[in-house]
Each structure stands twice: as structure tokens, then as C-alpha cells.
Amino acid sequence: MENSSLHSLIETIVLTSNNNITITNGAGEILYFNPKHWTVYGVKQEDCLGKTVYELEAKGVFNPSITALVIKKKQQVELMQQTLTGKTIMTTAYPIFDSNNQIQFVVSYAQDQTEINKLHLQYKELERQIQNYQQVVKALRQQETAQYRNKKMEEIKRTIHRVANTNATILLLGESGVGKSMWARKIHQLSNERNEPLIEVNCSTIPESLFETELFGYEPGSFTGAHKQGKKGLIEQAHHGTLFLDEIGELSLSLQVKLLKVLVEKKFKRVGSNTDRTSHFRLITATNRPLEEMVNKGEFRLDLYYRINVIPIEIPPLKKRKEDIVFLASHYLSIMNNKYHMEKELHTETYEYLTEYHWPGNVRELENLIERLVLTVDSIIIYPSHLPQALFKNKQMEPDIIDLPLPKNNESLKARLERIEKHILLHTYKQYPSSYKVADLLGISQASAARKLKKYRAE
């Protein structure tokens, strides 16, 4: 092939390529610059030809110059460039050596990543929205409708309905598992911001060192390991919506200062930026810690306490609303039956045991127990004997043989054994007032336990 046709063939290939191709000599002087892509760099072909990459780098046309790096390293280089037009370019450059092993040409290919980055950001935003909707769907699927009978809970519901669309700051208090997060979600759903994001942040799970970048976000390249395009913080994501700070009592004093600053000034800066940003959000916080006590001990800042304690709502523990236990138990039973396609039932005596228990893990513990029972009990009916030991106040007790009644004069062995049996049965029944549990503990059938108990209790 003639030199001229080869030249025009190469020219066509370069021109039709999607890459921006630049060719320099070994001194970095531009010999060829694909004219089609001047918009990427913001300079025309005629402004580049004959110039060195060092001159263009100094003018900020691109930064850094990949060709300069190839000349320095004498090898292929790949990197991301920023251009005068504010674009992010992915570039790869190769050296071409002459017979003396000196660089004769450097060919670089550049691809505009701006659109890809934009798509990536949109993708992340969609991912975040999906996560939000997933939470909503999960709540709906689990029929996360608050179930209660207790009067205090009825009052709480009324307060929540009253304040939900006022934008007032709410502090949810109560033991772990009482439903603080559930009520926070409910408030958001009832508020005017229901179609905006609800950003849930568990303060106890964010490491101190990441708190600022997580909450405030960061600018591109602010620290090693940062995403190239920077990141929106949770506070920014909550803009126009609700920011729910769970476990706020776990925040260290230094993080409390940082949080207070945002709440007072209503603005923040992304890490690595000097620009103030604002985010308007409804604040809901929750904790199972005694905040007032913590304030007195100097573990929680008084000023932050005042800021978040605008409308405090204390959710009572399950043991203080016994009427809710039965209600919640049958609610979860029907949810689990539906979920696992079962038809389990709780025996009346089982309900009694559930009501007597003190539920340190509150509704969460009850929910988990019902799920476990539905999955592990073979029979249709769930009897007290299927309940875990923790639900029985005292440890299982064997009747003490020394306490057994002494033989009466002329008492037959049969009569004496019956007296001992009576003693054992009544003693066990006193500990566990359930014929099922007695049967289970003594290894007899429930029918036999019930018959014997009826007889001995009547004597």
C-alpha cells in the first residue's frame, strides 16, 4: 500500500474512533489531535498542534498530562484526567520506541467519563431510592401496623397523629425493641414529607472516624479511598425528608458537638469543601438510654438534649402493657402462619405464660419467639411445654426427697406411693401451673397429668 493511502486509512480510523486520540513525539510535542473531540478538552486542533503537552498542562487543558508521564516512565500509563471544561477523562497512553530504544511517539486514547459518572451518580441515587422503597415495602409486608390495646399506647398514637405533619423534632424513648423505629417510620409516613426520603442512621454503627464523611459527605479526591466523584452525605440525602437518628445516646461527646453544630447552624460543609450547604429535614431521634441521667453525668450535652427533646414520646416496655402481649402474639402468629403457610395455634395456657413473662427484648423478642415456635413445633397446637425455659420464672425443680411426708402407721406401699405422687404433682404444679408443663416435666401424658391433678387438687 502506498504511503499516502495508508496515511488516509489511518486518518479515517482515527477520525471515526470514539476515542480522542492524541499523538506526540518523544519530546511531548503534539503531532496529531483528533479534531472531532475538541469539545472534550475545550481547545481546537489548531491551538494544540505544535504545542507541547507541558504547555497545555500548564494552561490546565488537562491535568495531569498522561503523555508527560509516559515520557518520564517509559511505559504504558492509565489514569483519570480532569479537563479545562470540567470533564473527567479516562486516558491510556503508550510509548512507541525507535531502534535506539528512545521514545519516538506517544499515542494516547481518551474517553469522556462525565456521562458515565453522571449515570453512576443517578444509579446510586436510584439505588438509595430503591432502599427507601424496600423499607416501606418491608414494613407493609410485615404489616408493620402498630398493634396495641394499652391505653398509654392509644395516647401515644394520638400524639403521633397530631404532631406527624408539624415538622416538629421528636425524641422517641424506650427500651430496646419497644417499637421506636417502627413509630419513627410511621411519623414519616403520616407527615407531609411522606414522598420524600426517610434516612435512617444508626448512630452506634457509624465509626467515629467515618462520622463526618457519612453524615456530611465529601468532595472528589478529599482522602485516600474516597469515591472519585465524591459522595452525598446522609444529611444531604435527607433534604426535604426525614432524618431519623437512632441510638443517639451512643454518640460520643465529640460527635455530639458536630451534630449540634449542624442542627443549630442548619448548614454544613462536605469534607474537603469550603462551600456551605443546607439541608432542610425533619429530625426524629431515638434512644434506649436515660438521656437525662446521661446529661447529669456529663455524658450527653445539655444543649443537644434541649435541641432534640422538643416532643419526647416514651414508649412503655411490653411488661408494663400486658394486654398488648396476647394481642401482639396472635398478630405475629397470623403473620408467621401466612409467611410459612402454616396453621399453628397457641394454647390458652401458652398465652398465660407469655403474659407473665417480663420480655426484656420487648416486641422484637416476642416476634422472634413466635416465629421460632411456628417453625419448630411439630404439633398444630403450641403448648406451654414448647416454650423456652426462660419463660418459666424459676429453674426446673425436682421435689426434694427429704421433704416427702413420713409414712403413717400401717400405711400400705400403694397408699404411700400415691401420697408421694400427689406431693410431686402438686409441688410441680405450684411451680408450673400448667398440666402440659407438668406432663412434660414428669414424662407422662397430658391427659394423665390433668386427671391426676384434678384428683389430687380436689383432695
Ligand X SMILES: Nc1ncnc2c1ncn2[C@@H]1O[C@H](COP(=O)(O)OP(=O)(O)OP(=O)(O)O)[C@@H](O)[C@H]1O
Residue nearest to ligand X (CB): 179
Residue 65 is given by DSSP the state -
Q: In this complex, which beta carbon is closest to ligand X, that of residue 69 or of residue 354?
A: 354
Q: In this complex, which beta carbon is closest to ligand X, that of residue 163 or of residue 203?
A: 203
410 half-sphere exposure, CB direction, 13 A CA radius: 0
Amino acid at 119: L
Question: Least distance to ligand X from the beta carbon of 123, Å?
Answer: 29
Question: Least distance to ligand X from the beta carbon of 177, Å?
Answer: 5
**For ligand X, which residue of 168, 182, 190, 377 counts as binding (CB under 6 A)?**
182
Q: Does 359 help bind ligand X (rule: CB under 6 A)?
A: no
Q: In this complex, which beta carbon is closest to ligand X, that of residue 80 or of residue 294?
A: 294
Contact 146, 179 (CB under 8 A): yes
Q: Does 200 help bind ligand X (rule: CB under 6 A)?
A: no
φ, ψ for residue 63, nearest 5 deg: -155, 120
Q: Does 288 help bind ligand X (rule: CB under 6 A)?
A: yes
Question: Least distance to ligand X from the beta carbon of 187, Å?
Answer: 12
**123-152 footprint of ligand X as x/- string (CB under 6 A):** ---------------------x-xxx----
Q: Is 107 left (phi over 0), alpha (psi -120 to 50) or beta?
A: beta
* DSSP codes of every residue in 270-317: -BT---EEE---EEEEEESS-HHHHHHTTSS-HHHHHHH-SEEEEPPP
Q: Are strands 345-346 and 62-63 parallel, antiparallel or unpaired?
A: unpaired
Each residue of 43-68: b (16+ CB within 10 Å) or e? beeebbeebbbeebbeeebbeebbbb
Q: Does 249 help bind ligand X (rule: CB under 6 A)?
A: no
Q: Does 285 help bind ligand X (rule: CB under 6 A)?
A: no
Q: Does 160 help bind ligand X (rule: CB under 6 A)?
A: no
Q: Does 367 help bind ligand X (rule: CB under 6 A)?
A: yes
Contact 268, 276 (CB under 8 A): yes
CA distance 364 to 387: 16
CA distance 159 to 353: 32
CA distance 165 to 174: 22
CA angle 143, 144, 150 (to 5 degrees): 115
Residues 296-335 that bind ligand X (CB under 6 A): 328
| Orientation angle between helical segments 322-340 and 362-376, nearest 10 degrees | 40
Q: Does 90 help bind ligand X (rule: CB under 6 A)?
A: no
Q: In this complex, which beta carbon is closest to ligand X, that of residue 63 or of residue 145?
A: 145
Q: Does 179 help bind ligand X (rule: CB under 6 A)?
A: yes
Question: Least distance to ligand X from the beta carbon of 60, Å?
Answer: 51
Residue span binding ligand X (CB under 6 A) among the ranges 180-188, 220-228, 253-261, 441-449: 180-188
Q: Does 189 help bind ligand X (rule: CB under 6 A)?
A: no
CA distance 91 to 20: 9
Residue span binding ligand X (CB under 6 A) among the ranges 16-24, 177-185, 298-306, 333-341: 177-185
Question: Least distance to ligand X from the beta carbon of 170, Å?
Answer: 13
Residue span binding ligand X (CB under 6 A) among the ranges 87-95, 176-184, 232-240, 415-423: 176-184
CA distance 442 to 428: 9
Question: Dihedral, CA atoms, 277, 281, 287, 290, nearest 10 degrees?
Answer: 80
Q: Does 437 help bind ligand X (rule: CB under 6 A)?
A: no
Contact 113, 125 (CB under 8 A): no
CA atoms 420, 426, 429, 434: torsion sign:
positive
**Total residues in contact with ligand X, by rule CB under 6 A:** 18
**For ligand X, which residue of 48, 57, 71, 177 counts as binding (CB under 6 A)?**
177
Q: In this complex, which beta carbon is closest to ligand X, that of residue 146 or of residue 260?
A: 146
Q: Does 188 help bind ligand X (rule: CB under 6 A)?
A: no
**For ligand X, which residue of 89, 259, 363, 438 counts as binding (CB under 6 A)?**
363
Residues 15-74 that bind ligand X (CB under 6 A): none
Residue span binding ligand X (CB under 6 A) among the ranges 187-195, 255-263, 362-370, 407-415: 362-370
Q: In this complex, which beta carbon is closest to ligand X, that of residue 95 or of residue 174?
A: 174
Among candidate residues 335, 426, 333, the one with its CA nearest the CA of residue 386: 333
**For ligand X, which residue of 178, 283, 346, 373 counts as binding (CB under 6 A)?**
178
Binding site for ligand X (CB under 6 A): 144, 146-148, 174, 176-182, 246, 288, 328, 363-364, 367
